[in-house]
C-alpha cells in the first residue's frame, strides 16, 4: 500500500476499518431521559474546569437507536451533567455505555464521546417505560417512567436534546503522557420530533467499580421525558486546550 493511500484511510485495520466513513443519520432514536438532583461535591470531583456548575443536575439517558447510517440499531446509556461554559449553558457528557463496537470506536476516535462497553435496554413493561443498564452480569441502573402519561410540547422536547454538549478529547502518546487533551463542543442538529411525552419517573443506581454511575447519587427526581426523533450530530470543535502554554 502506497504512503498516500495510508493517509486516506480513516482507521485501522486498514483493510476493514473499525467503523465506516459516514456521517451517521439517526432515524427513530428513542430517548428515556430522567433529570435528577445530586450532590454538588460529587459533581465538582468529576467535572473538569473550565466548565462551571450551578444547580447540581444530572440527566440519566437511555437511547434506543432504531436505525443509524453505517451502524444499524443499537442501544446506549449515559449520564450528562448540567454545566456552563463562558456563559453558555450545556451538558458535560460524563460516561456512555453501549452495545455496538463500531459506534463505540467511532465515538471515541473520530469524536470525543466517553463511550465504553455496556448492555443497556429500553422497553415497555406493564404500562411503564423501562430502561436498564448492565455491566457484564451486574445491574448498574434501572429507570422507570409512566408510559405516555402526558404529551410533551415538541419545542420543549427539541430544546432538551439540542443543548450544547461538552466532552474531553484525550489521546495519550506512546510514553503515556497526554498528546491531546482538549475540551470540545458539539450539538444535535436537523431534529425531527416524532413524539414526546412526560410523566412520573423513578431511577435506581447500583455501585460498580467499572461503571460508577452511583457515584452521582439520586437525591431528587426533577423531570422525565420520552422522546422519539430523527437527528444528526454536528462535527466536534475544540474550545479549550489543556496542553496550551
List the end-to-end C-alpha distance of the chain, in Å, as a whole number.
Answer: 38
115 is catalytic: yes
Among 39, 35, 230, 65, which residue's Cα sits nearest to residue 143?
Answer: 35
What is the C-alpha to C-alpha distance for residues 5 and 61, in angstroms, rounded to an integer? 40
- Alpha carbon dihedral 149, 121, 102, 112, in 10-degree steps, equals 60
Supply φ then ψ for residue 162, to 5 degrees: -115, 15
Marked catalytic residue, from 115, 148, 169, 237? 115
What sign results for the dihedral spanned by CA atoms 7, 10, 11, 13?
A: negative
Q: Which residues pair with 144 in a beta bridge?
A: 130, 202
What is the C-alpha to C-alpha distance for residues 79 and 213, in angstroms, rounded to an integer? 8
Question: Residue holding cell 408510559?
Answer: 147
Beta carbons of 145 and 199 less than 8 angstroms apart: yes
Q: In this structure, what C-alpha cell is assigned to residue 115?
A: 463511550
Kindly list the catalytic residues: 115
Amino acid at each position: 500500500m502506497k504512503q498516500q493511500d495510508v493517509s486516506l484511510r480513516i482507521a485501522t485495520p486498514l483493510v476493514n476499518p473499525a467503523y465506516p466513513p459516514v456521517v451517521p443519520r439517526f432515524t427513530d432514536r428513542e430517548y428515556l431521559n430522567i433529570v435528577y438532583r445530586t450532590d454538588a461535591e460529587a459533581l465538582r470531583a468529576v467535572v473538569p474546569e473550565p466548565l462551571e456548575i450551578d444547580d447540581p443536575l444530572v440527566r440519566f439517558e437511555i437511547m434506543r437507536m432504531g436505525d443509524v447510517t453505517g451502524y444499524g440499531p443499537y442501544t446506549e446509556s449515559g449520564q450528562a451533567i448540567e454545566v456552563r461554559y463562558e456563559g453558555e449553558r450545556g451538558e458535560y457528557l460524563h460516561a456512555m455505555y453501549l452495545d455496538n463496537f463500531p459506534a463505540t470506536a467511532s465515538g471515541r476516535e473520530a469524536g470525543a464521546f466517553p463511550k465504553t462497553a455496556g448492555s443497556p435496554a429500553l422497553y415497555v413493561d406493564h404500562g411503564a417505560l423501562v430502561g436498564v443498564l448492565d455491566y457484564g452480569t451486574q445491574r448498574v441502573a434501572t429507570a422507570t417512567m409512566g408510559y405516555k402519561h402526558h404529551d410533551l410540547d415538541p419545542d420543549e422536547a427539541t430544546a432538551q436534546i439540542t443543548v450544547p454538549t461538552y466532552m474531553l478529547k484525550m489521546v495519550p502518546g506512546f510514553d503515556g503522557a497526554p498528546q491531546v487533551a482538549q475540551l470540545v463542543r458539539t450539538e444535535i442538529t436537523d431534529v425531527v420530533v416524532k413524539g414526546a411525552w412526560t410523566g412520573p419517573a423513578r431511577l435506581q443506581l447500583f455501585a460498580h467499580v467499572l461503571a460508577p454511575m452511583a457515584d452521582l447519587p439520586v437525591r431528587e427526581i426533577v423531570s422525565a421525558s420520552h422522546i422519539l426523533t430523527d437527528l444528526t450530530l454536528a462535527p466536534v470543535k475544540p474550545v479549550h486546550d489543556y496542553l496550551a502554554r
